Amino acid sequence: MEYKKLYQDLTGRILNGKGESTVHQRHAAFENTDLPQPLNVLIEKVAYQSYKVTDSDFAAVKATGVTED
């Protein structure tokens, strides 16, 4: 099986399969769109500059009512 197919299968299961968050939330996080401001900043950092993520990034997200789940 080629890697592209494996990647598509994996992302399909993550985005559309069973989970704690809604399908909409998972797609929004994956695409980093339609998210509250502190959350999209955190996701952007995790994706592209993970070495810059701090506890205050997580605290800012939690302060908006978003849980770790």
Per-residue pLDDT of the chain (69 residues; tens, 9 = 90+): 699 999 999 999 999 999 888 899 899 989 989 888 899 999 999 999 999 999 999 999 999 988 776
Q: Sign (positive/negative) of CA torsion 23, 24, 29, 31? A: positive
Separation of alpha carbons 52 and 64, rounded Å = 21
Does the pTM exceed 0.85? no
Q: How far is CA 7 from CA 2, 12, 18, 38, in A?
A: 9, 8, 18, 28
